[in-house]
Structure 1
Amino acid sequence: MTTFDTALWLTAGAIIALLIISAFFSGSETALTASSRAKLRALADKGSGGAETALKITEDSERLIGSVLLGNNVVNILSASLATALFTRLFGDSGVALATLVMTLLVLIFAEVMPKTYAITNPERAASLVSRPIRVIVFLLSPIVGTVQILVRAMLGMVGVRTDPDSAVLSYQEEIAGTLALGHSEGAVDKEDRDRLLGALDLGHRTVEEVMLHRSQLETVDIDASPAEIIAQSVNSPHSRLPAWRDDPENIVGVIHVRDLMREVHRVVTEAGGDFSAVATLDISTVAREPYFVPDTTPLDEQMRQFLSQRRHFGLVIDEYGALQGLITLEDILEEIVGEIVDEHDIPTEDPITRLETGAIEIDGTMTIRDLNRAMDWALPDEEANTVAGLVIHEAQQIPEAGQVFQFHGFRFMVVERVENRLTRLRVRKM
């Protein structure tokens, strides 16, 4: 074999080897960036060392991508240079164009599309397989990549772009929420399951004020009323706990638990030999429990932890000035996750949404935007207002009169009924 033949075959072999390395880099990049960290964690917990390594090297995605791209570009440029030299020796000046055509096809098919297609269809498995050699490459190329990162950030800073290498593009909650939304749109996740999971994720972003029962709807007890009146109101109420006030309905001095009250009534009547009139001597203030007050800005997840740790189910909501705003229960928070909870003591209510033949719906103005969105699968914004009436007032910048119509956020709102300054009935239609 002549020296020319030996050099030809060595060059061809080097090109093939470089294409294989390029395919490895391309597939590794796709596998490590497309793989789910949650699935990798599950594999690592089952004993997969490769998955554990993949988790570690993907923590610094900027350094990982920089190392892989550096290695991939080096081998691609080197293979193209060798191919150009080889084809020039074989075909003369026309070898440059021929080498460009052949290498483009080889790199595209065997070093890009094929490995990336495999990696995208099996990202976690592929990431586990390549993680160990990639970790070595990242370690070796770190000094060069670090220098490149500094240069890139400096150049971006010159045009006003600021980068934070420690910040994630999407938080885990946003990633999960996006996955659920995508799964629901593709029919893989039921609406009820999506709503429950999103409700649990949203607890940290919602406050007590958004789900509390407003003070205008509270059922309270005058603690200075006669014991017989208080007993009658308590046993006929659908609620097991009633706030008790003195002098002013907003001056809550205690919370009467029906069970505590009935236990005390039983004791007094029994001691009186069965004479019910003995309840007149009952001191209701000794039965009432100390009220538990909650700031209206408390996040729901924190309030749920407080309820559970203190073994409470009921809290009175106050604003920054200490004024009573409403009440919240553990059940109210749970309903944000699982939806409406109805027990045998709840008063039956009609569907809060009346569907009209025109395609519009009629609702009470106090209905929360969140409940409307969940019921109708809409996406009305709730950043500026909690209720639908509040949203209309915010957008209209006034308190509308009955009959007025507004269009915003892709919906048509009509004020059906107004009582004093409250929008009590609204008609809504999606445009």
Structure 2
Amino acid sequence: MDSIPLSTLFIVLISLLIISAYFSSSETALLSLNRYRMRFLAEQGNRGARKAEKLVAQTDKLLSLILICNNLANILASSIATIIGMRLYGDIGVAAATGALTFIMLVFAEIYPKTVAAIYPEKIAFLSAHLLTPLMRIFTPLVFFMNMIIHALIKISGLKSELRTNSLSAEELRSIVHEAGKFIPSAHQEMLLSILDLEKVTVDDIMVPRNDIAGIDIEDDWKAIMRQLNHAAHGRVILYKENMDKNIIGILRVREAYRLMSDKNEFNKETLIRAADEAYFIPEGTALNVQLLNFRHNKERLGLVVDEYGDIKGLITLEDILEEIVGEFTTSTMPSIEEEIAQQPDGSVIIDGAANIRDINKVFDWQLNTDEARTFNGLILETLEEIPEPGSSYEIEGLKVTILEVGDNMVKRAKVIKL
């Protein structure tokens, strides 16, 4: 070493610091990459992205390679700095060289390159991948040997060496959609979030309640049956005999009934019964994402929600689930949430008792409990455990609720003030 000129040693030292900075920045850039964007760019033909994806796919080997090369560069740099210090100032120069090299390495070989890599991960990672790929082949035996030792130490320590998967949970996907911000129109963002929320919502939350289901009793007078068919609000109606809960005949397509009307000689109760499709039943508590797939699998568009005893709780259609994703259709005959609430000048709100609690929570960003009750009337009755009198006031879940109208054993309207 004594025969090597100082100028050469300085050049080698600077080169080693650059090499150390390169590996430090490569490590940060590759680990900071958005893996899904990297995959997209790789599929678009970006060579750097393809190589980076292969490197990141084996993170343990990548880290071993970078740390081996980085530490070799740092150790060599430290040795050369010590030699330069001894030549210039003797024993004092060794201490000075150690202090100076520590500062220089922290700033120029660690902090600065890693900060830049965190700001521009794609540019640095894709460029670096072209060099790291052949280095991985060259150092494969050493990397393999080092990983064997690491895995043995992990096993001896009783730790689990579980590699992180690339799959995202629903909560992580929800966070990504939220953070997308300006890149996704707000309407599309709401639709994506609604799709992710389908697994949290059940058929009980959006079904038409039992009391609101319209059907045709085949035992009714023939004129009454004809009148109900001519004024049917939906494309399908329920046919039953005497009791809808216990004796459902099937689901009749109104269009099919109109077709049968053209043949007056054969248009009677028997032909209506034969024309009805078999009723499709859905267990209560079924998640919407599951039911959406069930509708497709069974080629159904309408189902009756039943409880554990087989009694009908409500009715749900394919359109109801789609409305949860894209919003209410203008053709819907059910009142919208905007029609069921009315803002007052004094800051209070008049809420219809049949209004869905989930919809109310969405409109006002409230956190009303939806576990026990589906409608606002249900929430009031569940809390009070009695039917209140008009004019009475109560505090329910942070709301001052004044009963305005009661009828048919239910709260029709209530005035609400957020406390």
TM-score range, shorter chain: 0.7 to 0.9
Amino acid at match of 1:17: S
Matches of 1:400 and 1:54, distance apart in 2: 66
2:393 is aligned to: 403
1:380 is aligned to: 367
Q: How many residues end up aligned between the 2 structures?
A: 408
SS of alignment partner, residue 354 of structure 1: strand
2:162 is aligned to: 165
TM-fit CA distance, 1:328: 1.7
Matches of 2:151 and 2:375, distance apart in 1: 49
Q: How does 1:62-73 map to 2 (within 5 A)?
A: 64-65=62-63, 67-69=65-67, 71-73=69-71
Say which is worse superposed, 282-291 or 421-430, in terms of deviation: 421-430
Matches of 1:188 and 1:373, distance apart in 2: 27
Matches of 1:180 and 1:429, distance apart in 2: 33
Give deviations 1:169-191, integer Å, cap 9, x for gaps.
9725433321221234xx55443
TM-score calculated relative to the size of structure 2: 0.79
> How has the CA–CA distance of structure 1 residues 44 and 262 changed in structure 2, closer, same or farther, with 3 Å as cutoff?
same
Matches of 1:397 and 1:65, distance apart in 2: 62
TM-fit CA distance, 1:142: 4.1
2:172 is aligned to: 175
2:43 is aligned to: 45
1:284 is aligned to: 272
Instruction: Please tell me whether the aligned partners of residues 362 and 426 of structure 1 are also in contact (alpha carbons under 8 angstroms).
Output: yes
1:264 is aligned to: 260
User: Identity across aligned pairs (percent)?
Assistant: 32
> How has the CA–CA distance of structure 1 residues 257 and 15 changed in structure 2, closer, same or farther, with 3 Å as cutoff?
same
> How has the CA–CA distance of structure 1 residues 328 and 395 changed in structure 2, closer, same or farther, with 3 Å as cutoff?
closer
Give yes or no for the alignment of 1:416 onto 2:406: no
SS of alignment partner, residue 414 of structure 1: strand
1:315 to 298, 303, 314: 303
Amino acid at match of 1:256: L
1:335 is aligned to: 323
Amino acid at match of 2:343: R
2:249 to 231, 246, 253: 253
Give deviations 1:148-202, integer Å, cap 9, x for gaps.
35535765x6xxxx75614549725433321221234xx5544322211111233
Amino acid at match of 2:249: V
Give deviations 1:388-424, integer Å, cap 9, x for gaps.
74996799696796622245xxxx2233347788666
TM-fit CA distance, 1:338: 0.8
TM-fit CA distance, 1:254: 0.5
2:218 is aligned to: 223
1:58 is aligned to: 56
Say which is worse superposed, 299-308 or 418-427, in terms of deviation: 418-427
> How has the CA–CA distance of structure 1 residues 64 and 416 changed in structure 2, closer, same or farther, with 3 Å as cutoff?
farther
Give yes or no for the alignment of 1:192 onto 2:178: no
1:274 is aligned to: none
> How has the CA–CA distance of structure 1 residues 124 and 314 changed in structure 2, closer, same or farther, with 3 Å as cutoff?
farther
Instruction: Please tell me whether the aligned partners of residues 292 and 315 of structure 1 are also in contact (alpha carbons under 8 angstroms).
Output: yes
Q: How does 1:75-154 map to 2 (within 5 A)?
A: 75-96=73-94, 98-131=96-129, 133-134=131-132, 136-137=135-136, 139=140, 140-149=142-151, 151-152=153-154
> How has the CA–CA distance of structure 1 residues 325 and 167 changed in structure 2, closer, same or farther, with 3 Å as cutoff?
farther
TM-fit CA distance, 1:371: 2.9
Say which is worse superposed, 20-29 or 200-209, in terms of deviation: 200-209
Matches of 2:131 and 2:208, distance apart in 1: 59
1:201 is aligned to: 196
1:275 is aligned to: none
TM-fit CA distance, 1:47: 1.9
TM-score calculated relative to the size of structure 1: 0.77
Matches of 1:290 and 1:257, distance apart in 2: 11
1:8 is aligned to: 6
Say which is worse superposed, 390-399 or 296-305, in terms of deviation: 390-399
TM-fit CA distance, 1:141: 2.0
Amino acid at match of 2:209: H
Amino acid at match of 2:153: L
Q: Any stretches of 5+ residues in structure 1 without a counterpart? A: 272-277
Give deviations 1:97-119, integer Å, cap 9, x for gaps.
53354334433443234433443
Q: Any stretches of 5+ residues in structure 2 without a counterpart? A: none
1:300 to 288, 295, 298: 288
2:207 to 206, 212, 215: 212
Instruction: Please tell me whether the aligned partners of residues 300 and 333 of structure 1 are also in contact (alpha carbons under 8 angstroms).
Output: yes
Matches of 1:212 and 1:5, distance apart in 2: 89
SS of alignment partner, residue 238 of structure 1: coil
1:346 is aligned to: 333
TM-fit CA distance, 1:310: 4.0
TM-fit CA distance, 1:133: 4.2
> How has the CA–CA distance of structure 1 residues 41 and 253 changed in structure 2, closer, same or farther, with 3 Å as cutoff?
same
SS of alignment partner, residue 340 of structure 1: coil
TM-fit CA distance, 1:51: 2.0
1:18 is aligned to: 16
